[in-house]
Amino acid sequence: MTTRRATPPDLDPGSAELLALVRRRGALTRAEMTEATGWARVTVTSRLERLLADGLLVGDEAVVQGRGRPATRYRLDSSRAMQLVADVGALGMRLARVDLEGNIEDTRSIPVEIARGPEEVLALVRKGFDELAAAGGDRPLWGIGISLPGPVDFAAGKVVSPPIMTGWHAYPVKDTLQEWYACPVLVDNDVNAMAIGELDGLPPGTRDLLVVKVGTGIGCGIVCGGQVVRGAAGSAGDIGHTAADATGVRSGPVDCRCGKRDCVEAYTGGWALARDLEAELDRPVSVDDVVDLLGRGDPTALRLVGDAGRILGASLATAVSLLNPSAVVLSGQIAVAAGDHLLTSVRERIYARALPLATRTLDISISREWPDSGVQGLARQVGELVLSGS
């Protein structure tokens, strides 16, 4: 399939700054731009005309200011181009076409096993992207974002030493997608993208946040001061493969699929719950079966997820004491299906073990943005990438 691949305008820093202001604040008049930036009126006019000529801003709403003529408001033309994003998990992916403001226009959910390797998984991403682009009209494609369930070298756009992603280490994900689509590409960890997406559903001003994905595996996205913490090697937040404290809940040792023993994920991940349910129900159980059983209120599944919540909560208590977030959001298919049964047990351990000062105003909740938080976070990042002038 052929898509229009006109590249985003190469903006000078001043024009990019003005565009960022409009994206952040919404539609503004020329006078409001002058006041907000502190620039001379002639400077604002020059940069505004550049953005209008590039089709990035459009004037549509006139407002009366004093006794003069009505002033035009200028806003981002979000329909100027499309962006494509793919939130890829261990057993499935969610693809979306979004506009320049990150609004989701269309989605695809595709089952996939990340362990099948990069060639097979990315071929499915390409097929889904082509379908979404074809249905999006004749707009150019300006950017692509993809998130993956493993440590990511953010600058290089590669997965680094993933514990469960056979064949993915150092695979040129970013370069491959750029070769296919000839546009800017962003590659991130799946929970980091979710953390950015979750911010939109939280009270304004939230700048310190932990987002915990409880799906097939376990991961944590860390936002401090409004910025995602990725770490020196891209592995920040990999709480699933830290040592679990199962005291009073479960007896070990338990083997983890990463090759170590007694990891948090080995007790609390969707695959671990499926393993334990198989043993208790004496029949094969998949992660999808776990979600179904939780949704139907199966007592065995609820008991096991309660135990998992206490083990996960013990580890999160340490993170809460260290980072002092204002919110902890539990997301992912297991977390959403388990709801209050998981939430209650996680809260119990966090409040019992974390420092009282760190939990005094702490909000712990189930995601309200799932399943779109990952694609929303990617959309925001890709928009910033393609419209930043860099």
Q: Which CATH class is domain 13-76?
A: mainly alpha
pLDDT score of 1: 46
pLDDT value of residue 6: 54
**pLDDT of amino acid 10:** 82
Which of 57, 65, 58, 59 is CA-nearest to residue 31? 65
Averaged over 376-383, what is the pLDDT? 95
Fold adopted by 80-195+373-386: Nucleotidyltransferase; domain 5 (3.30.420)
Which CATH architecture best describes the domain 202-366? 2-Layer Sandwich (3.30)
Block residue for tokens 């909000």 = 363
Residue range(s) of every CATH 3.30.420.40 domain in the chain: 80-195+373-386, 202-366
In the block, residue with structure tokens 């013990």: 314
Residue range(s) occupied by CATH 1.10.10.10 in the chain: 13-76
Q: 54-63: long-range contacts at Cβ-Cβ below 8 A with a sequence spacing of 24 or more?
A: 54/9, 54/11, 55/80, 56/9, 56/19, 56/80, 56/387, 57/19, 57/22, 60/27, 61/27, 63/29
Q: What would the pLDDT profile of 127-167 be if each residue is shown by its tens digit?
A: 999 999 999 999 999 999 999 999 999 999 999 999 889 99
Q: Which of 13-27, 165-179, 357-371 has the lowest mean pLDDT?
A: 13-27
CB 364 within 8 A of CB 188: no
Percent of the chain with pLDDT over 70: 95
pLDDT band at 68 (very low <50, low <70, confident <90, very high): low
pTM value?
0.91
